[in-house]
């Protein structure tokens, strides 16, 4: 897996050394020597990862990282701070600035490459969601809420059979989050299926295989996207690297520093919420693409796609398909006499009565205006006619309440029915046209009727 990496360091020798190491691993490398240039390159080039030196003149690495994370166009890019500093406060300061990791010089090449691989893999997953977010924004879906996402108040599952250590972790987390302790990996996986924002796993546990737990969490759909923070011994390099390779989102070494724990958990919880936010917006965008906003029924576009597929199967020996075309009688008089808000109320109530009188496999859709279509797979002309009569009777059986219940209207509907014939080819357009002709015939003969039109 290749990726584009931006290396930022004011010492040219360090830049060239990192560039060579990354190029050997087939990464595409960009370089610069100061924070302001890094900010500009990040916006224009959109790298998959930034390796950022801390000790630079002018705008240092901490401030550069903070600005990157505050800028909407670059906040999603993972940042690894690289520095000769190894003090606790510097590490905490870097994580609180939004850095995804903090590596100390001289760099351990194996750990560096493991972190690069892990973070670029995460970035590519998030990019797919962001592309769909952009699509949602173009069609008017609100995405402004991302700026309000916080890293506190998360539900954190601590999986550790060391009772004392787990209790200390939970105590530290309780200041900002809602921790839960579980010593059994099977029960932990079950608990993680619920509303959990982060799972912390002690991969050095004596009672269970923490690495296997990480692997199982990544292989199961309900927990595949859950952030995983692996707790490891710093001297246990094989386990540390394996945890990253299996999909751990981050690493926390023992002995546990409370502030570092807080900073890393805060970052992972916020990232989880960002991913959830994007997925929810994607789901909403997809729903809006196939749903009529006023009535909640499927829209014309979705109906056309499904009808095309069903008619094609019927033409190739599959089950017949029937359609109902329904037109609310005298609907213009409702809008003219009571206003368009009242008309919308009628459309919404009509949609409810329509949807409750068809089967779960049927597709009730708003075709446009006061016209509706029901696509009915596996339905003969006779059966479709009976269902249409049931809908017509239910619509006219009770008045429609409008204007907040202040007025009532008697509403009727005219329905045309058609079904694919057996023995010869049909098209969606011809099928809908026959049903539409049935509507016109029902209107012409007095309205509030069902007319079936055979092929």
Nearest to 452 by CA among 394, 376, 397: 376
Question: Which sign does the torsion angle of CA 38, 43, 44, 48 carry?
Answer: positive
370 labelled catalytic = yes
Cβ 327 vs Cβ 413: under 8 Å: yes
Q: Using CA atoms, how far apart are residues 73 and 258, in angstroms rounded to an integer?
A: 31
Return the SS3 of 138: helix
Count Cβ atoms within 10 A of the Cβ of residue 115 and give its class: 0-12 exposed, 13-18 middle, 19 or more buried: buried
Q: How far apart are CA 362 and CA 322, in angstroms?
A: 10
Cβ–Cβ under 8 Å, residues 172 and 215: no
Are 218 and 244 a contacting pair, CB within 8 Å?
A: no
**Residue position matching structure tokens 């014939």:** 421
> Which residue matches tokens 């790298």?
47
Q: Dig out the tokens for 205 from the structure.
A: 């546990």
Decide if 240 contacts 232 (C-beta within 8 A).
yes
Contact present, 98 and 76 (Cβ < 8 Å): no
Q: Are 384 and 320 within 8 A, CB to CB?
A: no
| Alpha-carbon dihedral sign for residues 253, 257, 262, 267 | negative
Of residues 19, 182, 349, 370, which has the active-site annotation?
370
What would the 3-class secondary structure string for 272-335 be?
Answer: HHHHHHHHHHHHHHHHHHHECCCCCCECHHHHHHHHHHHHHHHHCCCCCEEEEEEEECCHHHHH
Instruction: Give the C-alpha separation, 119 to 437, whole Å.
Output: 60
Residues 309 and 259 sit within 8 Å (Cβ to Cβ) = no
Structure tokens at 64: 């550069």
CA distance 163 to 300: 59
Q: What is the DSSP letter of 92?
A: H
Helix (H) or strand (E) holding 271: helix 258-290
Q: Which residues are catalytic?
A: 370
């Amino acid at each position: 897996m290749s990726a584009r990496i931006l290396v930022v360091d004011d010492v040219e020798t360090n830049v060239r050394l990192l560039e060579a190491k990354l190029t050997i691993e087939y990464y595409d490398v960009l370089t610069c020597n100061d924070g302001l240039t890094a900010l500009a390159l990040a916006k224009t080039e959109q790298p998959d990862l930034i390796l950022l030196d801390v000790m630079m003149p002018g705008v240092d690495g901490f401030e550069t990282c903070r600005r990157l994370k505050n800028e909407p166009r670059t906040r999603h890019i993972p940042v690894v701070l690289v520095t000769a500093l190894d003090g606790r406060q510097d590490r905490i300061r870097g994580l609180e600035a939004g850095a995804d990791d903090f590596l100390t010089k001289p760099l351990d090449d194996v750990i560096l490459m493991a972190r690069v691989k892990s973070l670029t893999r995460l970035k590519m997953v998030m990019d797919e969601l962001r592309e769909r977010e952009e699509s949602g924004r173009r069609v008017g879906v609100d995405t402004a809420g991302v700026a309000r996402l916080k890293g506190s108040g998360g539900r954190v599952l601590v999986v550790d059979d060391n009772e004392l250590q787990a209790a200390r972790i939970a105590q530290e987390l309780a200041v900002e989050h809602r921790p839960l302790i579980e010593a059994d990996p099977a029960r932990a996986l079950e608990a993680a299926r619920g509303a959990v924002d982060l799972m912390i796993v002690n991969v050095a546990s004596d009672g269970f295989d923490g690495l296997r737990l990480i692997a199982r969490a990544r292989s199961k759909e309900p927990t595949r996207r859950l952030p995983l923070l692996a707790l490891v011994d710093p001297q246990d390099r094989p386990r540390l690297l394996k945890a990253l390779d299996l999909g751990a989102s981050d690493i926390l070494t023992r002995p546990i520093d409370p502030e570092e724990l807080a900073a890393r958990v805060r970052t992972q919880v916020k990232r989880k919420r960002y991913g959830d936010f994007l997925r929810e917006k994607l789901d909403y965008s997809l729903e809006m693409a196939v749903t009529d906003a006023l009535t909640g029924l499927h829209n014309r576009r979705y109906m056309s796609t499904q009808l095309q597929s069903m008619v094609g199967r019927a033409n190739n020996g599959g089950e017949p398909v029937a359609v109902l075309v329904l037109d609310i009688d005298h609907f213009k008089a409702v809008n003219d006499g009571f206003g368009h808000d009242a008309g919308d109320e009628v459309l919404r109530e009509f949609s409810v009565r329509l949807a409750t009188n068809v089967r779960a496999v049927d597709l009730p859709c708003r075709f446009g205006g006061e016209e509706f279509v029901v696509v009915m797979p596996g339905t003969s002309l006779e059966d479709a006619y009976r269902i249409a009569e049931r809908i017509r009777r239910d619509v006219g059986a009770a008045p429609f309440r409008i204007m907040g219940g202040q007025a009532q209207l008697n509403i009727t509907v005219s329905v045309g029915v058609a079904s694919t014939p057996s023995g010869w080819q049909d098209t969606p357009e011809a099928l809908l046209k026959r049903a539409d002709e049935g509507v016109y015939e029902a209107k012409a003969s007095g309205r509030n009727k069902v007319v079936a039109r055979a092929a």
